[in-house]
């Protein structure tokens, strides 16, 4: 059987809708979502760069900039997910922009692992272990705290009486 090159590759036929499922929807363009993710990623990356410049790590020292970045990012993500999933009306762009873009660009797993590797290479075993464990523990606690604070703030706002409006 001859191999088909990419120019001869066919797209799969759309699957028929299940009985009673309604018409088959054509996929919507995702360029707008990709654009807001890219914009948010640029903003988050610049914020992380600024924090790294403000809190430089001395050789063999505790990487405070990355630790603070990831902890605050986890807190913000916990808070954001409560609002995006439980409080705000659905939006096509809010979660991709803030969650994937801004917070994805702000937080950094790659720098975290490179810093652990650097501490291990410098034989700073205790500091590397402390940094690895503390980042995980504080990140989980921060995400939980952000979610908890978000729910409390949303309940408080919902319980607050609305100001009187104009007479109708």
Residue 59 domain-assigned?
yes
Domains in the chain: how many in total?
A: 1
Is residue 106 included in any domain, yes or no? Answer: yes
Whether 5 is covered by a domain: the verdict is no
In this structure, is residue 3 part of a structural domain? no
Q: What tokens were used for 145? A: 């705290």
In a domain, 37, yes or no: yes
Angle made by CA atoms 94, 86, 165, in degrees to the nearest 5 = 90
What average pLDDT does this structure show over 113-123? 96
Tens digits of per-residue pLDDT, 96-111? 999 999 999 999 999 9
Residue 3: the pLDDT is: 47
Question: Of 73, 79, 140, whose CA–CA distance to 105 is shortest?
Answer: 73
Between CA 119 and CA 128 the distance in angstroms is: 5
Contact of 147 with 76, CB cutoff 8 Å = no
pLDDT given for residue 19 in this prediction: 58
Q: What is the pTM of this model?
A: 0.77
Give a yes or no: residue 24 inside a domain: no
What whole-number distance in Å separates Cα of residue 29 and Cα of residue 92? 12
Helical pair 109-121 and 64-82, crossing angle rounded to 10 deg? 150
What does the pLDDT average to over 58-70?
Answer: 95
Answer yes or no: is pLDDT of 41 > 50. yes
Quickly tell me which residue has 């803030």 as its tokens: 98
Domain contains 25: no
Is the model's pLDDT at 16 over the cut of 90?
Answer: no
- Residue 12 pLDDT level (bands cut at 50, 70, 90): low
Within-domain flag for 92 = yes
Q: What range does the domain containing 90 cover?
A: 31-155
């Amino acid at each position: 059987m001859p191999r088909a090159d990419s120019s001869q590759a066919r797209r799969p036929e759309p699957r028929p809708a299940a009985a009673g499922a309604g018409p088959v929807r054509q996929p919507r363009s995702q360029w707008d979502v990709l654009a807001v993710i890219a914009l948010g990623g640029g903003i988050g990356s610049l914020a992380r760069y600024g924090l790294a410049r403000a809190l430089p790590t001395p050789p063999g020292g505790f990487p405070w900039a990355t630790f603070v970045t990831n902890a605050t990012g986890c807190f913000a993500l916990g808070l954001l997910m409560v609002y995006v999933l439980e409080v705000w009306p659905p939006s096509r762009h809010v979660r991709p922009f803030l969650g994937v873009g801004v917070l994805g660009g702000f937080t950094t797993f790659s720098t975290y692992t490179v810093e652990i590797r650097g501490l291990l290479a410098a034989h700073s075993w205790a500091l590397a272990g402390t940094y690895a464990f503390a980042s995980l523990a504080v990140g989980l606690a921060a995400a939980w705290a952000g979610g908890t604070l978000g729910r409390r703030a949303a309940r408080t706002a919902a319980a607050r009486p609305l100001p009187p409006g104009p007479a109708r």
